Amino acid sequence: MSMERHCKNALEEENQRLREENDRLMDIVVQMKCTLNRLVKEYITESK
């Protein structure tokens, strides 16, 4: 395998890993937003 092909494969693998990590982080952000909205509703808007 040529060095160029090896580098391309390594970059493609890293890109895939980063996409998967990004997906996990986006799921966490969605969970955090839901939790924040629930807390705001429970402790801020209902206390008025």
* Token representation of residue 35: 């939790």
Structural domains counted in the chain: 1
Exposed e or buried b for every residue in 7-46, given b needs 16+ CB within 10 A?
A: eeeeeeeeeeeeeeeeeeeeeeeeeeeeeeeeeeeeeeee
pTM for this predicted structure:
0.73
pLDDT band at residue 48, thresholds of 50, 70 and 90?
A: low
Q: What confidence tens digit (pLDDT) does each residue in 1-40 have?
A: 698 999 999 999 999 999 999 999 999 999 999 999 999 9
Range of the domain at 31: 1-48
pLDDT, position 47: 67
Higher pLDDT, 45 or 11: 11
